Amino acid sequence: MNEQTVTGVDLSVVDQMVERYGTEPASAVPILLGLQETFGYLPMEALRYVTEKTDTTPDQVYGVATFYGQFRMTPVGEHMVRVCHGTACHVRGAVNISQTLEEVLGLEKGQDTTSDNKYTVEKVACLGCCSLSPVIMIDDKVYGRLDRKKVRKIFKRLEREEAKK
């Protein structure tokens, strides 16, 4: 059975999540978190399919999907770059870090994903590494005690590593 939709979303992922977390309404958040982790965002087809497979209603699922900061409704690039804008990071120059990232990655105002689809940059409220502020997180790795220079260095190194592969 081919469960791929026209946009290439593999709906069997939804089945796996429903299997794992159950069909009751309380499973909505864990299921959506699982989908977000797999796809990087919440594809509309997948959300529709969730409402079919569980005891949830479309308004509940869409309501939850649009309420929480973790959920995105649009696709993301290959790597996630999370820029911490917590209080400590703000006080120690997070604004400059965000600005430098835009320069390094060539992002225009309002654009969050690079045109080669490699990086998506997202501002987050707090990564909890306040004593190393300012910090960013690229995929699962946190980089601390940053300044403009260090941000540039990190991306140069990532590019070099990528080129080696």
Pick between residue 53 and residue 90 the one whose CB is nearest to other proteins: 90
Report if residue 153 touches other proteins, rule: CB under 8 A. no
Site pattern 78..97 for other proteins (x: CB under 8 A): -------xxxx-xxx---x-
- Out of 11, 83, 107, 129, the only residue in the binding site for other proteins (CB under 8 A) is 129
φ/ψ of 56, rounded to 5, equals -110, 165
In the sheet that 141-143 helps form, which strands lie side by side, from edge to edge? 119-124, 79-84, 136-138, 141-143
Query: In the chain, how many H helices and how many E strands?
Result: 7, 4
Report if residue 46 touches other proteins, rule: CB under 8 A. no
CA 110, CA 138: separation in Å to the nearest integer?
20
Report if residue 70 touches other proteins, rule: CB under 8 A. yes
**Cβ–Cβ < 8 Å for 94, 129:** no
- Out of 44, 124, 138, 158, the only residue in the binding site for other proteins (CB under 8 A) is 124
C-alpha angle 120/92/69, rounded to 5°?
40
Number of residues that bind other proteins (CB under 8 A): 46
**Minimum distance from residue 52 beta carbon to other proteins (Å):** 16
Question: Quick one: which segment of 11-19, 44-52, 62-70, 109-117 binds other proteins (CB under 8 A)?
Answer: 62-70
Report if residue 30 touches other proteins, rule: CB under 8 A. yes
Pick between residue 25 and residue 75 the one whose CB is nearest to other proteins: 25
137: left (phi over 0), alpha (psi -120 to 50) or beta: beta
Report if residue 44 touches other proteins, rule: CB under 8 A. no
- Out of 148, 150, 155, 158, the only residue in the binding site for other proteins (CB under 8 A) is 148
Kindly state the DSSP code that residue 139 receives in the 8-state scheme.
Answer: T
CA 86, CA 147: separation in Å to the nearest integer?
16
**Minimum distance from residue 70 beta carbon to other proteins (Å):** 4
